[in-house]
Amino acid sequence: MNNIAINYRPHIPNSTKRYENPNFRSQSPRLVNLQLLKKCTHLIEFKQIHTQIIKNPTDQPDYFLPKLVESLVNSTHMDYAYQVFKQMLQPTTFVFNTMVRGYALSGVYKDGIQFYIQMQLTGLEADNFTYPFLLKACTDLNQGKGVHSLILKSRGLGSDVYSQTSLVSFYSSHGDLEYARKVFDRIQEKNVVSWTAMITGYVKLKEYTEGLALFYRMQIEGAEINESTLVNVLCACANLGAFEMGKWIHGYIDKNKIFLNSSLATALVDMYAKCGYIRKASQLFDELPQRSVYTWNTIIGGLALHGCGVEALERFKEMQMSGGARPDAITFIGVLSACTHSGMVDKGKEYFNSMLTDYGIEPNIKHYGCLVDLLGRAGQLDEAYQVVQNMPFKPNAVLWGTLLNACNAHANVELAETVMEQLVKLEPYNDGNYVLMSNIYAAKSQWDNVANLRSFMKNKGILKTPGCTSIEVDNVIHEFMVGDSTHPQSKDIYSMLDDVARRLKAVNYLPKTTQVLLDVSEEEKRQALCHHSEKLAIAFGLISTKPKTSIRLMKNLRACGDCHLATKLISKIYDREIIVRDRNRFHHFKDGVCSCNDYW
């Protein structure tokens, strides 16, 4: 940035070209007023007003120039705002604040901070507006901490709720939740924005349980709750799969007649979809009076997650027909993942190729990830590998992981080993990759390699994450670990498991013992599989819910091959729909088949 001149140098802009704006015609050409300023959007309109202010001495430049700067900043004409600023004899704190805000919002952070420094040099004192703007111009933790100490030192502003809340947002958006919470706890008179800022901090950093805990406290303390609060709480519910809480929020919205704005509607649709209620999500979506690109993306992505690919593509067509929202890069993540999760390989390729040509959207690494998944699923492993090698991005762990998954599905040891070389470098402690590789070796009966991999993991201290499945029955979440016997109804659960095992045997079910990473006998492997957390949760679901009702589960890992096979059979034997949310997607088991068509 140039040095900021604060001497008054009259400047009449060159606006020789006449521009006819209908808003201007009815106004007297000499009259400058705020109404007129508010209607300006184009630079030439601002220039005309600027000329009038300078030419007409009765129009009080001291009053109108700051307002002109403000309007220019609001219209993101920063260069011209700076030109006007330079003409001011004594810029006020308001003008400096406005310039700091403008540069921060337009991403020219350094200039924002520079303006604050310049303000101090001119001897002006910061006011309660200064620090929230200045914090927006801070790009790293140290800068923010510097502003924090300035706030503490400033007269009277140490307890200003705006500055304090800005600090909460700053710290949490820079990953320091501990500091954010310290500031939050010290806010004397917390309002709905300060509470929401802290909850948002937790949610953004995936500390969903903490976010919900704070929401409970907020209610106990009788704080006001508004749409923004609920959006964040719903986001936590969606990601935790906390359906009862999410449903309660929906009831709260209805009961308190809270306006379902676009953000809140999106969060609600997303909550239903991520909690496994895709029909409810779709129905709610249909009832919405307005849909933004976010709402469309949520329903398309939600349908994709549930393997409802055809329906997702129908929604995509509907989105385009409606003309209300333009598809963006995220829409295509949903569209491509719909094709992947439903096995529509050719359609997926078509959509990928149409992104740039028909929609002007450059595919990013996530779109390439979807393409690799799509090709991998179809068994086109060489082509998938070619994409990884030739795409315009350096492949990350997700991309290699996608390819490893494809190698597992199509038992390709050779490529899997090449992929693993990369994954060991990028994610040396991700146990899931080693487990997948072990399964690939096991599928080819390469037991030596399985053993080598196991000792490699042991030497590196890499432990397999224990499987954990939860099920919600009558508003209580029951959590099961592998081999768990701590549940109060454990005896009944294991009796039910015996019944399940007997009936599975009767339909010639053979446990997939190759997927067990233990150095034990076949019988012990069978037992281990039988006691996987998913099966324990299903057995509990069978004994604690009414016949023919759906059973809903959530897992911390991907579905294991043996549990997947067993769950398909159980859905048929016991005539139950079983809906499982695993780490990546939903599986709807019904009548012996799964919505994922055995690829996940």
**Interacting positions 258-297 with DNA (CB under 7 A):** 261-267, 270, 292-295, 297
| CA distance linking residue 112 with residue 78, whole number of Å | 11
Q: How far apart are CA 43 and CA 66, in angstroms?
A: 16
Tell me if residue 202 falls in helix, strand or coil: helix
Residues facing residue 580 across a β-bridge: 553, 587
Q: Are strands 586-590 and 551-555 parallel, antiparallel or unpaired?
A: unpaired
- Nearest residue (CB) to DNA, 402 versus 513: 402
369 contacts 398 by C-beta, under 8 angstroms: yes
* Cβ closest to DNA, residue 83 vs residue 128: 128
**Applying CB under 7 A, does 75 fall inside the site for DNA?**
no
Query: Of 56, 83, 93, 527, which lies in the binding site for DNA, with binding defined by CB under 7 A?
Result: 93
439 is a site residue for DNA (CB under 7 A): no
Determine, following the binding rule CB under 7 A, whether residue 590 of this chain makes contact with DNA. no
Question: In this chain, which stretch among 46-54, 306-314, 368-376, 504-512 interacts with DNA, using CB under 7 A?
Answer: 368-376
Which residue do the tokens 């099920």 mark? 471
- Rounded to 10 deg, the angle between the 293-305 and 278-287 helix axes is 160
Helix, strand, coil % in the chain, rounded to nearest 5: 65, 5, 30
List the one residue out of 32, 86, 70 whose CA is nearest residue 54: 32
Task: By CB under 7 A, name the one of 298, 412, 469, 595 that touches DNA.
Answer: 298
Among 68, 69, 214, 333, binds DNA (CB under 7 A): 333
In the set 87, 118, 337, 595, which binds DNA (CB under 7 A)?
A: 337
Q: Rule CB under 7 A: is residue 556 a binding residue for DNA? A: no
Residue 264 Cβ, how far from DNA at the closest point, in Å? 5
**Which one, 337 or 469, has the nearer CB to DNA?**
337
Cα-based distances in Å from 44 to 36, 99, 465 = 13, 20, 62
Alpha-carbon dihedral of residues 451, 454, 455, 456, nearest 10 degrees? 120
Q: Which stretch binds DNA (CB under 7 A): 365-373, 471-479, 508-516, 572-580?
A: 365-373
Q: Please report how close the Cβ of residue 281 comes to DNA at its closest, in angstroms.
A: 11
Ranges within 138-167 binding DNA (CB under 7 A):
160-163, 165-166
Tokens of 294: 């976010």
Q: Measured between alpha carbons, how far is 72 from 86 in angstroms, rounded to an integer?
A: 14
**Rounded to the nearest whole angstrom, what is the least distance from the CB of residue 474 to DNA in the complex?**
28
Helices H, strands E: what count in the chain? 31, 6
| Closer residue to DNA in complex, CB, 227/499 | 227
Q: Which listed range, 331-339, 342-350, 548-556, 569-577, lies at the site for DNA (CB under 7 A)?
A: 331-339
Q: Which long-range contacts (CB under 8 A, 24 or more apart) does 392-399 make?
A: 393/364, 393/365, 393/368, 395/422, 396/365, 396/426, 397/423, 397/426, 397/427, 397/430, 398/369, 399/365, 399/368, 399/369, 399/372
Pick one of 52, 114, 405, 571: the residue that binds DNA (CB under 7 A).
405
Q: Which residues contact 219 (CB under 8 A, 6 or more apart)?
A: 225
Task: Give the shortest CB-240-to-DNA separation in angstroms.
Answer: 12
Among 48, 282, 402, 439, binds DNA (CB under 7 A): 402
HSE toward the beta carbon, residue 195, CA cutoff 13 A: 25
In the complex, what is the shortest distance from the CB of residue 423 to DNA, in angstroms, rounded to a whole number? 6
**To which residue do tokens 């349980």 refer?**
209
52 sits near DNA (criterion: CB under 7 A): no
In contact, 74 and 66? CB cutoff 8 Å? no
Q: Which of residues 180-209 bind DNA (CB under 7 A)?
A: 191-194, 196-197, 200, 204
Choose the stretch contacting DNA; rule: CB under 7 A; options: 78-86, 92-100, 312-320, 573-581: 92-100
Q: Which of 37, 218, 370, 579 binds DNA (CB under 7 A)?
A: 370
Rounded-to-integer distance, Cα 513 and Cα 277, Å: 33
* Positions 109 through 128 that interact with DNA (CB under 7 A): 127-128
Using the rule CB under 7 A, is 108 a contact of DNA?
Answer: no
- Could you tell me the sign of the dihedral formed by the alpha carbons of 27, 30, 35, 40, in that order? positive
| DSSP 8-state class, residue 19 | -
Residue 279 or 491 with smaller CB distance to DNA:
279
**Residues binding DNA: number (CB under 7 A):** 78
Choice from 39, 83, 205, 227 touching DNA (CB under 7 A): 227
By CB under 7 A, residue 380 contacts DNA: no
Q: For residues 128 and 106, what is the distance between their CA atoms, to the nearest angstrom?
A: 21
Q: Does 132 bind DNA (CB under 7 A)?
A: yes
Instruction: Kindly state whether residue 391 participates in binding DNA, applying the rule CB under 7 A.
Output: no
Question: In the window 513-542, what residues touch DNA (CB under 7 A)?
Answer: none
Residues 447-506 that bind DNA (CB under 7 A): none
Residue with Cβ nearer DNA (247 or 503): 247
Q: Which is closer to DNA, CB of 63 or CB of 447?
A: 63
Smallest separation (angstroms) from DNA to the CB of 1: 20
Of 585, 586, 587, 588, the one binding DNA by CB under 7 A:
585
* DSSP, residue by residue, 243-276: HHHHHHHHHHHHHTT----HHHHHHHHHHHHHTT
Q: What is the CA radius of gyration of the chain?
A: 30
Nearest to 565 by CA among 532, 540, 541, 542: 532
309 touches DNA by CB under 7 A: no
Q: Judged by CB under 7 A, does residue 342 bind DNA?
A: no
Alpha-carbon distance of 73 to 94, in angstroms, equals 12
Residue selected from 398, 468, 477, 481 as contacting DNA according to rule CB under 7 A:
398
Q: Binding residue for DNA (CB under 7 A) from 15, 83, 430, 527?
A: 430
CA 63 – CA 82 distance, rounded (Å): 17
